[in-house]
Every structure is written in structure tokens, then in C-alpha cells.
Structure 1
């Protein structure tokens, strides 16, 4: 099984938002259960395949399914808070998300370790999962880091009204509007062309 969710952003939190996609006018859930969540976490570089397999063996699929449910709930809380923040509102919503993030982060099982590589020491972060729910701490940390940025204006939702995807605008002029120039961008160009053509060539007899 592979993740159906697009990875449009070099950002774990935005990729989490994009685990809901639109297809033919319907929203599609890309992490409906634990198995699909694990595949998404591996595809997105959050977990290695070894870590994913170990989680499933140690805690069982029922616990992983519960983790998927909690992940979806965190994602939607994040979505609402980000949408409100983007319009300059939502302090109460953000406060609720902050409390949710702090609760998750308080249960993190991370520790620092020193590694020696080619004669040079490196400080690295490691985690020992004591329960499946602690995986949420990785997602919560990335969400918190996104809100701590001073360039939230570059975090955008696709301008296509029928699209629900988010991305980070890394273009030089910061004028990117669509999640993908080949998908939503082309559709918008085609629609604009047809509109101009219809305006220029009104139907006879009207």
C-alpha cells in the first residue's frame, strides 16, 4: 500500500493537512486507518520503515488505528486554527490548539544523544516509543514550529475553489496561487480562456 496523499510541501505539518484531498467534487480521506497512517508517515519521512514495522509489532493494529483517529483530530484542529490565523483572527481557536499541542508534547519520549561520525561528534535527537500515541509528538512539534514562523503569509491554500490542498510559496515573487501548475494552475488557465472566448463570441440571437 502507498500513501494517496500528495507531498507538495517540504513541511510535515502542511503535508498532514494534505491528507484530505478533493476528487470529483468529493473529499477523500488518505489516512482512514492505522495502516494508511503508517504508510503516510514513512512516505513523508516522519518514520523509517523499520520504525513503522516495530510500532505495529509492539502495539498492535488496534492501537495504531486509534493513533490514526487522534491524528485526524489534530489535523482538523490545526486546519481550523491556520485558516483563522490567515485572516487575522482565531485567538481562541489557536489557544485551544496550543493546549492540545502542549498536552501531546508533554508526553514526548525524546532524548538527546551524541554520535561520532568520521571523527566528528554530532548531537542527535532520538525517541523510544512507550506507546503509539507518542508518535503524535512529531506532528505536534512541526505544527508548533509552523505557527512560530514570521512568514505565515507564504503558507497558502490553493486558489482553486474546488481544491483543499496547502503549500508553501517559495517563488521569488511570492505570487504562487495554485498547489500545482500542471493541475489546478492549468485548469484555471483553461477556464479563463473559455470565459474570454465566450465573452468575445456571444451566441447569435441572444
Structure 2
């Protein structure tokens, strides 16, 4: 069941933080129901199966997501970490993570919602303490608030993804140029 979750950020913790879309304007919540949270865990590849979550799992995931976003923003801007956000993230990371198992058909990871959330929190800890910190950038689309890892040559990537934001911005710029082109050029 694909619910239009997008994974363009280059790290599961950043994709998780991006599930509250357009934070500065319309704010669209991707975790509106437990099913949508469960779907995110599956679509992200963090787990292969997850026990069905409930409203309390959504509430906890939302709290951890906001802590991750706050910490990522602070790190990206070179600011101090908020102690409360640190406590929330570290508490989630201390819980048992999803543990992969080897089966006759290969690797399989089954988890509870709490284990899946702990796994996301651990990704955030690794990201925020690791070598990719200088590569974190916010999408150039003013409506988008996704932070992504820019691994492009010369760190010249401007958008979280071409499909999600880049094409929209380029098309809007093209339309604006066409509108403002001198009428004489049309003759």
C-alpha cells in the first residue's frame, strides 16, 4: 500500500523529519493515522513487517520526528542543541531497535512500532554525530522544508528532489520568463 511517502533526503531520519510537509505554510501531516505511520516504516525499508500501530504510536513518532527536525535544523545552522529535543531523541534511541534476522530466503526485519521508531532515532544519532553534517541542506523550494544530504559534485544540488520540487520550480520560472518576455520578441 503506497501512500505517497517520498524518500529523497538521503537518510531515513531526514525522510522521517520530512513527513510534516510545508512547515512554513500549509503544513501537511503524513502521519494522520496509524496505518500511514506503519506504511512509512515499511516503505522506508527500515523494516519488512511492522505490527500494527495505534494512536499512541503516532503520537510518540510525531514527538520524536519534531525533535529530529529541531536537532537537524540546529546542527545545519550551527546552533546549540535544544536539551529537551536531545532528551526525546536519546530516549527513543535507547529503546530496543528493529533487529534483522537471517531466514532461509534472506534477511528479514520484523518490528513493533516502538522498535521501528528506535531504529529511526538511531539513524538520527548517527547522522547528527557523523561526517554528513556539512552535507545537510534545506530544499531551495520556499514551500518545502525538507533537509537532504547533498552528495552532488560541488554540492550544487538545490532541491530535495527533481520530481518533488525541482521540476515545479523550474516550470514556474519558465512560465514567469514567458510572461515577462517583451512582446516584440513574439513577432
**How does the TM-score come out when normalised to structure 2?**
0.78
Structure 2 residue runs without a partner (length 5+): none
Aligned residue number for residue 78 of structure 2: 88
User: RCO (CA 8 Å, sep 6+): is it higher in 1 or 2?
Assistant: 2
Aligned residue number for residue 13 of structure 1: 13
Determine helix, strand or coil for the equivalent of 2:6.
coil
- Residue-pair matches, total: 180
Q: CA RMSD in A?
A: 3.2
**How does the TM-score come out when normalised to structure 1?**
0.72
CA–CA separation in structure 2 for the residues paired with 1:110 and 1:5: 20
Determine helix, strand or coil for the equivalent of 1:156.
strand
Determine helix, strand or coil for the equivalent of 2:154.
coil
Determine helix, strand or coil for the equivalent of 1:6.
coil
Per the TM alignment, residue 28 of structure 1 is displaced from its structure 2 partner at its CA by 1.5
CA–CA separation in structure 1 for the residues paired with 2:48 and 2:100: 18
Aligned residue number for residue 69 of structure 2: 79
Structure 1 residue runs without a partner (length 5+): 118-123
Mark the structure with the bigger radius of gyration.
1
- Give the direction of change, closer, same or farther, for the CA distance of 1:112–1:29 in structure 2 (3 Å limit): closer
Q: Which moved more, 1:175-184 or 1:190-199?
A: 190-199
- Per-residue deviation, residues 128-179 of structure 1 (Å, max 9, x unmatched): 75xx434321111011011011331211111111112222112122110112
- Is the contact between residue 8 and residue 15 of structure 2 (CA under 8 Å) also seen in structure 1? yes
